Copies of this chain bind each other. A is one copy, B any other.
Amino acid sequence: MTVRFLDAMLRGVSQVFLQNNPMSGLIVLTAVSWGAVAARTPQAAAGAVVGLFVGTLTATVLRFPSAAVRNGLFGFNPLLTGLAISIYLPPRILTWVYLVLGAVVCTLITRAIAAILDIVELPVLTFPFVLTTWLLLLAAYQFTGLGNRGPGEPALPHGPGAADVHLTGAFLTAGILKDISEVFLLGNWVTGALILPALLITSRWAAGFAVAGAVVSTFVALGLGADATVVAGGLYGFSAVLTAVALGATFYHPSRRRVPYVLLGVVFTVVVQAALGTALGPVGVPALTAPFVFVTWLFALSQRDPA
């Protein structure tokens, strides 16, 4: 494994947060490993690294566009796929075979979706991860060898629980940091706190918008009456964090004038998060970062100059 390959892998880690910096990637990887071990699922960190490695290797072997490979653009979707599979499916040898298959296919799907999105000049974001992981988890319900534990039993949509949570400053701060951590499917506030400096290295705007996305999504979800324990777990904020970074600090030149527009995107991401929660309930798969993907695409398209 050459230094160049390792560099592409670390950049791939940072690409989850739409950054392109190997040092930033190293910090994020450390944060994720901490969170995985703390949650007693160390296999999640291993799954992430295996996915990242397999994806980057597949893109290299198949001679996908080399600049994109070097910048980690074929690494972050397989990374998230590997992470999700090792969290949602039980730790068995067959799960690892399934994970490697998923990482390879996710890399091909990244390329395929990029070919379609080129027409409208949109980035793939984390959609290849979402699509691949949905298919892998839905399929696992049919295979005894994989025994999908899933995110709970499939169910028809139902209203929020009547949880009575005491809202304190510490509670909210932990929830906001978990919003950042849940981008990696981990509900660990230390992981979230460690990711912030990784963003500060590359862009103060990115770090600022990430925190703003977490704060705003938390209050919007609570204000609409979402289940407070779900909000506190970071499950209403992780897509909103990514929407804020994407619309605020990545695809457009960051400025204060863009703040209202970014906040509207964050608010709508909370709505789409809840909507997908209802829509996916009957088939028993989680929304993953689909709300971030859909809202970012829609908002980016709505800014186009007329032809």
> Given the complex, which residues of B lie within 8 Å of A201, measured CB to CB?
none
> Given the complex, which residues of B lie within 8 Å of A281, measured CB to CB?
283
Residue of B65, B116, B142 touching A227 (CB-CB under 8 A): B142
Distance between A125 CB and nearest chain B CB, rounded to angstroms: 15
Distance between A252 CB and nearest chain B CB, rounded to angstroms: 14
- CB-CB under 8 A for A225 and B144, given A115-B304, A156-B282, A267-B101: yes
Distance between A140 CB and nearest chain B CB, rounded to angstroms: 8
Residue A41 at the chain B interface, CB threshold 8 Å: no
Cβ-defined contact, A108 with B302, below 8 A: yes
Distance between A130 CB and nearest chain B CB, rounded to angstroms: 13
- CB-CB under 8 A for A160 and B142, given A112-B301, A298-B109: yes
Residue A105 at the chain B interface, CB threshold 8 Å: yes
Residue A6 at the chain B interface, CB threshold 8 Å: no
Cβ-defined contact, B120 with A120, below 8 A: no
Residue A219 at the chain B interface, CB threshold 8 Å: no
Complex alpha-carbon distance, A265 and B145, angstroms: 20
Bitwise, A201-231 to B at CB < 8 A (1) or not (0) is 0000000000000000000000111110000
Cβ-defined contact, A112 with B306, below 8 A: no
Chain A interface residue count, CB cutoff 8 Å, equals 67
Residue of B nearest to A65 (CB): B306
Interface residues of A in 283-307 (CB under 8 A from B): 283-284, 297-302, 304, 306-307
- CB-CB under 8 A for A109 and B160, given A142-B227, A278-B138, A283-B278: no
Residue A37 at the chain B interface, CB threshold 8 Å: no
Known: A113-B301, A144-B226. 12 other contacts (CB 8 A): A65-B306, A105-B264, A105-B268, A112-B298, A112-B302, A136-B271, A138-B279, A141-B274, A142-B274, A143-B274, A156-B284, A282-B282
Pick 30 A–B contacts, CB within 8 A, sort by A: A65-B306, A108-B302, A112-B298, A112-B300, A115-B120, A115-B302, A115-B304, A118-B307, A134-B275, A135-B271, A138-B276, A139-B271, A139-B275, A140-B274, A141-B158, A141-B159, A142-B160, A143-B224, A144-B162, A144-B225, A144-B226, A145-B224, A154-B156, A154-B157, A155-B156, A156-B282, A156-B284, A278-B284, A281-B283, A282-B282
Q: Which residues of A contact B (CB under 8 A)?
A: 65, 94, 98, 101, 104-105, 108-109, 111-113, 115-116, 118-120, 134-136, 138-147, 154-160, 162, 223-227, 264, 267-268, 271-279, 281-284, 297-302, 304, 306-307
